[in-house]
Structure 1
Amino acid sequence: MRIPRIFSGQPLSELRDIELDEAASRHLVKVLRLGSGHPLTLFDGHGGEYSARLTTTGKRARVRIETFLAENRQSPLALSLAIGISRGERFDWVVQKATELGATVLQPLLTERCEVKLSGERLKKKRTHWRRIAISACEQCGRNLLPEIAEPVKLAHYLQNLTQKTAPAAKLVLHHRTRLDLHQWQAEHGKPDSALLLVGPEGGLSQVEIDTALARDFIPLRLGPRVMRTETAPIAALSVLQFQWGDL
């Protein structure tokens, strides 16, 4: 029997009854057609998950929270993805797949070749949209800690504010005209517990942006002989890093 996983924006605790929001209620009752008594798994994004049961169906379903399980399914590698914002649904795809692959921080960037303009109310709506995608991905993949989706900033500002204290152990920038052997890097530096991956938008990062990253101790990483699209490259790179240093 499938046990649906549902995110709740309200704090959760054992042995209490809560009312789900309309979206979650509609999914359980209208889409999945679940009845009273059906088991659920709830999580609030702060760590761990709760077993629960559906007690009342309707526009706002109610559930009974039962026991807590301290399980987060986090990778031992803390992965941050800083990536230029792409057009259309490409960036939505990146948010979804990066969440499934265990990225802990997603930093949208405004770069020289970025064609997306965000500000004010549009920016607020976009961040809300991306957060919903990340929540849905967590519900599907079993993560109980939501990734942080930072406010978009200019790449120069982002690099300038990366300090030695806050920067991950391994800082990598995708660059198809170079080559990096991760085995060699690990032999010299050891296996890192954190990594930052910097990726450009459509058209990639400019040479000036790459040079600026390299000047701040980023290491160029090449993903083979083929040039990948902006929505493919970060997913391939995150998979490689999780395989090499994480839990794949």
Structure 2
Amino acid sequence: MPRFHCPAPLATGAALSLPPGTARHVQVLRLQPGDTLTLFNGEGGEFEATVTRMGRSDVDVEVGAHHAIERELSRAVHLVVAMPANDRMDWLVEKATELGAASIQPVMAAHNVLRLKGERADKKVAHWQAVAVGACEQCGRNRVPLLHPVLDLADWLRRAGPLAPEQTRMLLSLREGTRPLAAWPWGQHPGALTVLNGPEGGLNREEEDAAVAAGFVPFTLGPRVLRAETAPLAVLAGLPD
């Protein structure tokens, strides 16, 4: 059954016109009155729905039963990523959504190739949010990860504040003394996890020191150097259930 994100209030028995973006997706699939689909609005669970009318540019549906289905990770994982260039950030957002990231914070570090500010940054974040929505529709998630506005890494670290007891912060690093991910005592850290990853070329020493001062623990994924867009995905894929 096709799935669509519908950013509108949903309730069993309600009749509604789908938002324009969702309606366009339904029309592309050439669904007809009587066809069924799945809707989710990001507030939890998903709804059955039946198409009741197909207009030229609008689609009406009747909302059916709600199913309290969640497909989230056992812990909230927040990614802080120094944006890789070109379309690699799109790929990172898509795959991180599929693997269960709760939120993604794009940042700019000293070695960043991609540098965004102002209206251009806002447009990129809106685009990445749409990529996350599409990934949720495909993979079955009912909660869309939040894409935060782009910040300089130093600004984000200042805003992050002190580490709460239930939080864990990890820094992907090649510096000496890092812990391997496989050796992390997950049972002692059941709360939310924030993972910081650098751009192409990594974070510089001053940035890593600032992250450590903010409570990030350096750790490594192994002897091979992964790309900026691959490393955070390896963390998500390697987390225990």
TM-score > 0.5, shorter chain as reference: yes
Name the CA shift for 1:95/1:239 in 2 (closer, same or farther; >3 Å).
same
User: How many Å apart are 1:8 and its aligned residue?
Assistant: 0.9
- What are the Cα deviations for residues 201-233 of structure 1, in whole angstroms up to 9, with x where unaligned? 111111111111122221111111111111111
The answer to whether the Cα contact below 8 Å between 1:4 and 1:40 also exists between their aligned partners in 2 is yes
* Structure 1 match to 2:35: 38
Give the match for residue 95 of structure 1.
93
Alpha-carbon distance, 1:129 to partner = 0.5
The aligned runs of 1:28-177 (5 Å cut-off) are 28-30=26-28, 32-58=29-55, 59-164=57-162, 169-177=167-175
In 2: Cα distance, 1:237 partner to 1:185 partner: 12
| Number of equivalenced pairs | 239
Residue pair 1:168, 1:195 contacting (<8 A) in 2 also: no
* CA–CA distance in structure 2, aligned partners of residues 90 and 146 of structure 1: 20
Matched residues in 2 for 1:37 and 1:158: separation?
Answer: 49
The CA RMSD measured in Å over matched residues stands at 1.9
Higher mean alpha-carbon deviation, 106-115 vs 117-126, is at 117-126
Q: Which amino acid aligns with 1:53?
A: T
- TM-score norm. by structure 2 comes to 0.91
Instruction: Note if 1:194 corresponds to 2:192.
Output: yes
TM-score by length of 1: 0.89
Q: Percent identity?
A: 39
Q: Please, which moves more after superposition, 33-42 or 114-123? A: 114-123
For the residue of structure 2 that corresponds to 1:67, the secondary structure is strand
Return the alpha-carbon distance in structure 2 between the equivalents of residues 84 and 90 of structure 1.
11
Deviation of the 1:12 alpha carbon: 1.3
Q: CA deviation at 1:165?
A: 5.5
The code of the aligned residue for 1:217 comes to G
Label 1:167 to 1:96 Cα distance change in 2 as closer, same or farther (>3 A): farther
Residue 99 of structure 1 aligns to which amino acid in structure 2?
Answer: T
What 5-or-longer segments of structure 1 have no aligned partner?
none
Shift of 1:26: 3.2
Relative to structure 1, is the Cα distance of residues 141 and 168 closer, same or farther in structure 2, using a 3 angstrom cutoff? farther
In structure 2, do the counterparts of structure 1 residues 93 and 205 end up closer, same or farther at CA, with 3 Å as the change threshold?
A: same
